[in-house]
Chains A and B, each alone.
Chain A
Amino acid sequence: MYLYSLTLQRATGAVCAVIGSFSGRDSKKSAASGSGSGSTQEIAVARGSTLDLLRPDPETGRLRTLLSVDVFGAIRSLAQFRLTGANKDYLVVGSDSGRLVILEYSPDRNRLDKVHQETFGKSGCRRIVPGQLLAVDPKGRALCIAALEKQKLVYVLNRDAAARLTISSPLEAHKSNTLTFALAALDCGFDNPVFAAIELEYAESDRDPTGQAANQAQKLLTFYELDLGLNHVSRKVSEPIDNGANLLVTVPGGGDGPSGVLVCCDNFVLYRNQGHPEIRAVIPRRADLPAERGVLIVAAATHKQKSMFFFLLQTEYGDIFKVDLDHNGDTVSELRIKYFDTIPVTSAVCVLRSGFLFAASEFGNHALYQFRDIGRDADVESSSATLMETEEGFQPVFFQPRALKNLMRIDEIESLMPVMDMRVANLFDEETPQLFTACGRGPRSTLRILRPGLAISEMARSMLPAEPIAVWTVKKNINDMFDAYIVVSFTNVTLVLSIGETIEEVSDSQFLDTTHSLAVTLLGEDSLMQVHPNGIRHIREDGRVNEWRTPGKKTITKVGSNRLQVVIALSGGELIYFEMDMTGQLMEVEKQDMSGDVACLAIAPVPEGRQRSRFLAVGSYDNTIRILSLDPDDCLQPLSVQSVSSAPESLLFLEVQASIGGEDGADYPANLFLNAGLQNGVLFRTNVDMVTGQLSDTRSRFLGLRPPKLFPCVVSHRQAMLCLSSRPWLGYIHQGHFLLTPLSCDTLESASSFSSDQCSEGVVAVAGDALRIFTIERLGETFNETAIPLRYTPRKFVILPKKKYIAVIESDKGAFSAEEREAAKKECLEASGAAENGNANNGDPMENGDGQEDGAEEGNTFPDEQYGYPKAESERWVSCIRILDPRSRDTTCLLELQENEAAVSICTVNFHDKEHGTLLAVGTAKGLQFWPRRTLAGGFIHIYKFVDEGRSLELLHKTQVEEVPLALCQFQGRLLAGVGSVLRLYDLGKRKLLRKCENKLFPRTIVSIHTYRDRIYVGDMQESFHYCKYRRDENQLYIFADDSVPRWLTAAQHIDFDTMAGADKFGNIYFARLPQDISDEIEEDPTGGKIKWEQGKLNGAPNKVEEIVQFHVGDVVTCLQKASLIPGGGECLIYGTVMGSVGALLAFTSREDVDFFSHLEMHLRQEHPPLCGRDHMAYRSAYFPVKDVIDGDLCEQYPSLPADMQRKIADELDRTPGEILKKLEDIRNKII
Chain B
Amino acid sequence: MQASDRFNINSQLEHLQAKYVGTGHADLSRFEWAVNIQRDSYASYIGHYPMLAYFAIAENESIGRERYNFMQKMLLPCGLPPERDED
Contacts and interface: CB of A to CB of B under 8 A. Distances in A.
A128 B21 CA distance: 7
Interface residues of B, number: 37
Given A125-B48, A418-B53, A1065-B51, A205 B75 contact: yes
Contacts of A1066: 48, 51
Interface in B1-60: 20-22, 32, 35, 39-40, 43-44, 46-51, 53-54, 56-60
B43 to A, nearest CB: 4
Nearest to B83: A209
Interface string A232-268: 0000000000000010000000000000000000100
Contacts of B43: 125-127, 148-149
B56 to A, nearest CB: 8
Contacts of B39: 127, 149
A813 B59 contact: yes
A614 interface: no
Chain B CB within 10 A, most for which of A13, A128, A930 = A128
Contacts of A125: 43-44, 46-48
B60 to A, nearest CB: 4
A345 interface: yes
B75 A217 contact: yes
Contact of B49 (A15, A127, A316, A813): A15
B53 A74 contact: no
Contacts of B71: 148, 179, 181, 246
B50 A1138 contact: yes
Contacts of B83: 209
B51 A930 contact: no
B74 A202 contact: yes
Contact of A362 (B22, B53, B80): B53
Interface in A193-243: 200, 202, 205-211, 214, 217
B21 to A, nearest CB: 5
A1174 interface: no
The secondary structure that dominates the B interface is helix
Contacts of A150: 21
A208 B81 contact: yes
B53 A417 contact: yes
A209 B84 contact: yes
Given A176-B21, A209-B83, A214-B80, A316 B64 contact: yes
A200 B49 contact: no
A48 interface: yes
Contact of B64 (A76, A217, A296): A296
A214 B64 CA distance: 24
Interface string A135-170: 000000000000011100000000000000000000
A742 interface: no
A contacts with B: majority SS:
loop
Contacts of A347: 63-64
B60 A793 contact: yes
B75 A74 contact: no
B47 A48 contact: no
A298 interface: yes
Interface residues of A, number: 63
A951 to B, nearest CB: 30
Nearest to B65: A316
A1115 interface: yes
Contacts of B81: 206-209
Interface string A280-298: 0000000000000000111
Given A15-B49, A74-B49, A208-B81, A298 B62 contact: yes
A1114 B84 CA distance: 42
Given A150-B21, A347-B63, A1139 B53 contact: yes
Contacts of B35: 206
A965 interface: no
Contact of B60 (A96, A206, A815, A1139): A815
Contacts of A1137: 50
Contact of A127 (B21, B50, B64): B21
A441 interface: yes
A15 to B, nearest CB: 5
Interface in A14-70: 15, 48
A299 interface: yes
A1067 interface: yes
Nearest to A1113: B50
Interface in B71-87: 71, 74-76, 80-84
A347 B64 CA distance: 7
A814 interface: yes
Contacts of A149: 21, 39, 43, 74
A1115 B62 contact: no
Contacts of B50: 48, 1067, 1114-1116, 1137-1139
Tell which of B35, B46, B50, B51 has the most Cβ of chain A within 10 Å. Answer: B50
Most buried by B among A127, A205, A297, A442: A127
Interface in A774-796: 793
A812 interface: yes
Given A125-B47, A813-B59, A296 B68 contact: yes
Contact of B74 (A179, A266, A418, A1116): A179
Given A76-B47, A148-B46, A1065 B75 contact: no
Interface string A1079-1115: 0000000000000000000000000000000000011
A795 to B, nearest CB: 10
A48 B53 CA distance: 11
Nearest to B36: A127
A132 B43 CA distance: 9
B63 A362 contact: yes
Contact of A930 (B20, B46, B53, B58): B58
B67 to A, nearest CB: 8
Contact of B48 (A74, A210, A246, A362): A74
Contacts of B59: 813-814, 874, 930
A266 B65 CA distance: 10
B54 A345 contact: no
A131 interface: yes
A363 interface: yes
A205 B80 CA distance: 8
B86 to A, nearest CB: 12
A202 B54 contact: no
Contacts of A179: 71, 74-75
A46 to B, nearest CB: 9
A134 B47 CA distance: 13
A9 B46 CA distance: 25
Contacts of A208: 80-81
A241 to B, nearest CB: 14
A1165 to B, nearest CB: 23
Nearest to B56: A362
Nearest to B62: A316
Nearest to A314: B64
Contacts of B20: 128
A779 B39 CA distance: 44
B47 A793 contact: no
A850 to B, nearest CB: 16
Given A76-B47, A298-B65, A1139-B53, 16 more contacts: A74-B48, A125-B46, A126-B47, A127-B39, A127-B44, A208-B80, A316-B61, A316-B65, A362-B64, A363-B53, A417-B53, A418-B57, A441-B60, A793-B57, A813-B60, A1116-B50
Across the A-B interface, give the 4 residue pairs with the lowest CB-CB distance, nearest first: A125-B47, A298-B64, A127-B43, A316-B62
21 contacts: A148-B46, A176-B21, A200-B75, A206-B32, A206-B35, A210-B80, A211-B80, A246-B68, A266-B68, A296-B62, A316-B64, A316-B65, A362-B56, A420-B57, A442-B60, A813-B60, A814-B59, A814-B61, A1065-B51, A1138-B53, A1138-B54
Interface of A: 13, 15, 48, 74, 76, 96, 125-128, 131-132, 148-150, 176, 179, 181, 200, 202, 205-211, 214, 217, 246, 266, 296-299, 316-317, 345, 347, 362-363, 417-418, 420, 441-442, 793, 812-815, 874, 930, 1050, 1065-1067, 1114-1116, 1137-1139
